[in-house]
Amino acid sequence: MSGIRGRDTKPEVALRKALFARGLRYRVNVRGMPGRPDLVFARWRAAVFVHGCFWHGHDCPLFRLPGTRTQFWSEKIAANRQRDARALQALADAKWRICVVWECALRGTGRSGLNSVAERVASWLYGEESALTIKGREQGNAHS
């Protein structure tokens, strides 16, 4: 597991490049912020997380609990979800706007596509919504 990246993952880098190409500037993995968001847009007081479906236990085709050591993995993923919930709540309490982009929106059979996801994030930044969740098409795209 030491080879698993916590930052600069392929989906995260791809989204960063697409948003940068649209003229949006951000900070990456800001220390001291709850959950250390992948992208922080201070101008809009907005934080964007790019969650891997496996590591964050997303209910989609990209997530499958391993067949070995299932108790270990169940506990680990449950702890990740609890930590995510605490971080998102802390950011919301501090009046930050929050966007979660799930890996399945960027890859897999139900992907929306990088340009579509980047466009939705950019529109959300310029808009007034406090939160946005972008998932793969099988789950439908939910706004909250």
φ and ψ of 77, to 5 deg: -70, -35
- The answer to whether position 144 is within a domain reads no
The pLDDT value given to residue 143: 47
Query: What's 88's domain CATH number?
Result: 3.40.960.10
Share of the chain above pLDDT 70, in %: 91
Strand partners for 131: 98
- The answer to whether position 96 is within a domain reads yes
Per-residue pLDDT averaged across 105-116, rounded?
90
- The answer to whether position 1 is within a domain reads no
The pLDDT value given to residue 144: 42
- The answer to whether position 82 is within a domain reads yes
Higher-confidence residue: 144 or 17?
A: 17
Q: Which domain holds residue 53?
A: 10-139
Residues 6+ apart with CB under 8 A from 113: 106
Number of domains, the chain: 1
- 51-85 residue pLDDT tens: 999 999 999 988 899 999 999 999 999 999 999 99
Supply the pTM of this predicted model.
Answer: 0.89
- The answer to whether position 83 is within a domain reads yes
- The answer to whether position 4 is within a domain reads no
